């Protein structure tokens, strides 16, 4: 089992207080989960220790790591919110409670409401760090899914593909997205998984040796050309992403040009373009395959130069060229920005504000792979009017961030106050999600569904309890409206309603009743 020491070893310049905090959270979690076991038979602590370790490895701060260690205490043990507040303070309590709340966002087996669920998921988290802990939590649950009873595996894996993967994608967290996809794939689409595996298997055996040979050739050439401080690596395309590409290429693996990719990580943007030039002298580039995502980043913030070339041995390779910072961002996405918040050096990377304004309009766009749009052509969506399908409030925040230079901490705070607190997402008893401004009451909910529902409210249940018509709704509430033909609005409702839509409809119903 991962120890507190191993977690601390990943912290960047920890203070004594940081060390003590991690040790304390670790011991506290260990005590709280004492006697609990995972399905694998291992102590429950192995799970939370793994979550804490992964967060530390990603570069998250001590509070987030401590929250990772404590994330299952309130839900699964005797520990109460009050205990966490007393022992660890408000911020950690806020994060742990956020993760706990997210457990109620469940995939119910139809894909009708997936987009709403993703919204609910993001909104419920209230702080981007909550989402990051939750994603890392899910990653470990997926890594140990084989021990879970079979009846639950499909639901968990499907939920991962439908909710967690798109959220990780929108947040630019490439590494975690790829791992979640490939872990869920065999459970959700076993036959397709096998078919992709078989196809890849024939290639992969040769590929490994081949890539290593080509890498040496490239390294020598880069060094000979005077490029300093570069790193090269290679990867074979992930199974799930290969599956989506194969579907579009009539299952002809020879038409998948990015099956094998070589990566060059350099120090500066200038060196990226130099490296591209060198690559093109080593291997012959394929026409029209150079993609400059440095100047035109993908909507989720991804930056790199991509080019496809054919090696002397006849292998088609995709070459991805980027700076250290772009590389870190491509792997950790928004988490990387939380890490860079204290960075003051004059790097050429975009500011958090710019990055965020790029992210926001895409955060809630339907995941491209699901509707057979091209994964690589996500950037093409820039040309369509992004304002069309996005709720206005998201836009306003995006625009605000373009004008203001938010510093790191402000960024986190703003995410909390503006991005998440302006709206709430509540469920109908059928699992439909209704998006309302915060402060909204059941009357607003009823009119948001239909005026006929609003005009005949006889009673309201929130989470199965009868409540007053002016009860303030909270994120994740399940709201049930009872209607009666004989029930009608009263003038008092105009004051109780918070949305202008509801107020307007009540007024017109009242006028009609007068006639």
In the 3-class helix/strand/coil scheme, how is 99-147 assigned residue by residue?
Answer: HHHHCCCCCCCCCCCHHHHHHHHHHHHCCHHHHHHHHHHHHHHHHCHHH
Closer of 72 and 162 to Mn ion (Cβ): 72
Nearest residue (beta carbon) to Mn ion: 137
Closer of 127 and 137 to Mn ion (Cβ): 137
C-alpha dihedral, 9 to 11 to 14 to 18, nearest 10°: -100
Closest contact distance (angstroms) between CB of 133 and Mn ion is 9
Q: Select the span of 70-78, 207-215, 419-427, 434-442 touching Mn ion (CB under 5 A).
A: 70-78
Closest contact distance (angstroms) between CB of 316 and Mn ion is 42
Closer of 72 and 271 to Mn ion (Cβ): 72
Around Cβ 198, how many Cβ atoms within 10 Å?
Answer: 9
Q: To which residue do tokens 């939380």 refer? A: 338
Closest contact distance (angstroms) between CB of 137 and Mn ion is 4
Distance between CA atoms of residues 413 and 27, nearest Å: 29
Nearest to 61 by CA among 94, 116, 112, 21: 21
Among 72, 127, 162, 271, binds Mn ion (CB under 5 A): 72
Spot the catalytic one: 6, 76, 87, 292.
Answer: 76
Distance between CA atoms of residues 356 and 410, nearest Å: 13
Among 115, 127, 137, 329, binds Mn ion (CB under 5 A): 137
Closest contact distance (angstroms) between CB of 273 and Mn ion is 44
Closer of 106 and 216 to Mn ion (Cβ): 106
Return the DSSP state at 41: S
Return the DSSP state at 99: H
Q: Select the span of 129-137, 157-165, 171-179, 331-339 touching Mn ion (CB under 5 A).
A: 129-137
Distance between CA atoms of residues 416 and 126, nearest Å: 6
Distance between CA atoms of residues 260 and 237, nearest Å: 6
Closer of 72 and 477 to Mn ion (Cβ): 72
Active site residue 229: no
Nearest to 45 by CA among 132, 140, 156: 140
Closer of 137 and 159 to Mn ion (Cβ): 137
- Show the site string, 192-221: x = touches Mn ion by CB under 5 A, - = not: ------------------------------
Which tokens belong to 120?
A: 């609910």
User: In the chain, how long is the greatest CA-to-CA distance?
Assistant: 89
Closest contact distance (angstroms) between CB of 72 and Mn ion is 5
Q: Cβ distance 117 to 162 under 8 Å?
A: yes
Closer of 137 and 318 to Mn ion (Cβ): 137
- Show the site string, 4-43: x = touches Mn ion by CB under 5 A, - = not: ----------------------------------------
Site residue total, Mn ion (CB under 5 A): 2
Around Cβ 431, how many Cβ atoms within 10 Å?
Answer: 16
Closest contact distance (angstroms) between CB of 138 and Mn ion is 8
Residues 6+ positions from 9 with CB-CB distance below 8 Å: none
End-to-end CA distance of the chain: 74
For 50, 118, 258, the CA distances from 139, given in Å and listed in that order, are 10, 17, 25
Closest contact distance (angstroms) between CB of 86 and Mn ion is 22
Residues 6+ positions from 333 with CB-CB distance below 8 Å: 168, 171, 172, 173, 174, 300, 301
Q: Select the span of 133-141, 144-152, 271-279, 353-361 touching Mn ion (CB under 5 A).
A: 133-141
Closer of 137 and 258 to Mn ion (Cβ): 137
Q: Cβ distance 143 to 66 under 8 Å?
A: no
State yes or no: residue 159 binds Mn ion (CB under 5 A).
no
Q: Select the span of 9-17, 71-79, 106-114, 155-163 touching Mn ion (CB under 5 A).
A: 71-79
Active site residue 212: no
- Show the site string, 405-444: x = touches Mn ion by CB under 5 A, - = not: ----------------------------------------
Closest contact distance (angstroms) between CB of 47 and Mn ion is 6
Spot the catalytic one: 6, 23, 57, 75.
Answer: 75
Q: Select the span of 65-73, 118-126, 280-288, 416-424 touching Mn ion (CB under 5 A).
A: 65-73
Q: Is residue 511 packed enough to be buried (19+ CB in 10 Å), middle (13-18) or exposed (0-12)?
A: exposed
Q: Select the span of 52-60, 130-138, 198-206, 339-347 touching Mn ion (CB under 5 A).
A: 130-138
Distance between CA atoms of residues 145 and 157, nearest Å: 8
**Residue 402, H or E segment:** helix 392-403
- Which chain residues interact with Mn ion by CB under 5 A? 72, 137
Q: Which residues does the annotation mark as catalytic?
A: 75-76
């Amino acid at each position: 089992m991962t120890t507190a020491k191993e977690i601390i070893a990943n912290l960047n310049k920890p203070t004594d207080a940081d060390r003590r905090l991690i040790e304390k959270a670790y011991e506290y979690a260990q005590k709280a989960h004492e006697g609990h076991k995972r399905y694998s038979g291992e102590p429950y602590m192995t799970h939370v220790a793994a979550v804490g370790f992964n967060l530390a490895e990603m570069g998250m701060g001590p509070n987030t790591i401590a929250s990772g260690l404590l994330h299952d205490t309130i839900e699964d043990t005797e520990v109460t919110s009050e205990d966490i507040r007393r022992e660890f303070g408000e911020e950690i309590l806020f994060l742990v409670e956020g993760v706990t709340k997210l457990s109620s966002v469940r995939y119910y087996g139809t894909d009708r409401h997936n987009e709403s669920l993703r919204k609910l998921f993001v909104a419920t988290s209230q702080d981007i760090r909550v989402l990051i802990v939750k994603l890392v939590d899910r990653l470990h649950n997926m890594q140990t899914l084989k021990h879970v009873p079979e009846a639950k595996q499909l639901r968990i894996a499907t939920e991962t593909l439908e909710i967690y993967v798109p959220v990780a994608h929108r947040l630019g967290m490439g590494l975690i997205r790829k791992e979640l996809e490939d872990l869920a794939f065999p459970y959700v689409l076993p036959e397709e998984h096998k078919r992709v595996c078989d196809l890849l298997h024939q290639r992969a055996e040769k590929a490994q040796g081949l890539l290593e040979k080509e890498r040496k050739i490239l390294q020598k050439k880069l060094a000979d050309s005077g490029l300093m401080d570069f790193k090269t690596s290679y990867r074979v395309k992930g199974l799930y992403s290969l599956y989506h590409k194969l579907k579009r290429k009539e299952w002809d693996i020879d038409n998948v040009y990015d099956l094998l990719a070589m990566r060059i990580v350099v120090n500066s943007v200038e060196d990226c373009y130099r490296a591209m030039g060198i690559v093109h002298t080593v291997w012959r580039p394929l026409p029209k395959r150079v993609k400059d995502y440095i100047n035109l980043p993908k909507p989720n913030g991804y930056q790199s130069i991509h080019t496809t070339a054919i090696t002397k041995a006849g292998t088609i390779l995709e070459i991805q060229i980027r700076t250290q910072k772009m590389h870190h961002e491509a792997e950790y996405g928004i988490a990387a920005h939380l890490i860079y918040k204290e960075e003051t050096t004059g790097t050429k990377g975009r500011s958090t504000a710019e990055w965020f304004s790029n992210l926001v309009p895409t955060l809630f766009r339907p995941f491209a792979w699901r509707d057979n749009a091209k994964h690589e052509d996500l950037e093409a969506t820039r040309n369509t009017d992004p304002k069309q399908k996005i709720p206005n409030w998201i836009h306003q925040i995006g625009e605000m961030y373009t004008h203001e230079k938010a510093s790191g901490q402000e960024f986190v705070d703003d995410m909390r106050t503006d991005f998440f607190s302006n709206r709430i997402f509540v469920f109908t008893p059928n699992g439909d999600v209704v998006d309302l401004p915060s402060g909204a009451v059941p009357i607003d909910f009823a009119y948001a569904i239909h005026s006929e529902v609003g005009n005949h409210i006889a009673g309201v249940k929130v989470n199965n309890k009868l409540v007053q018509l002016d009860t303030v709704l909270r994120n994740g509430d399940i709201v049930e409206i009872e209607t009666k033909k004989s029930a009608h609005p009263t003038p008092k409702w105009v004051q109780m309603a918070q949305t202008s839509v509801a107020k307007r409809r009540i007024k017109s119903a009242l006028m009609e009743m007068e006639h």
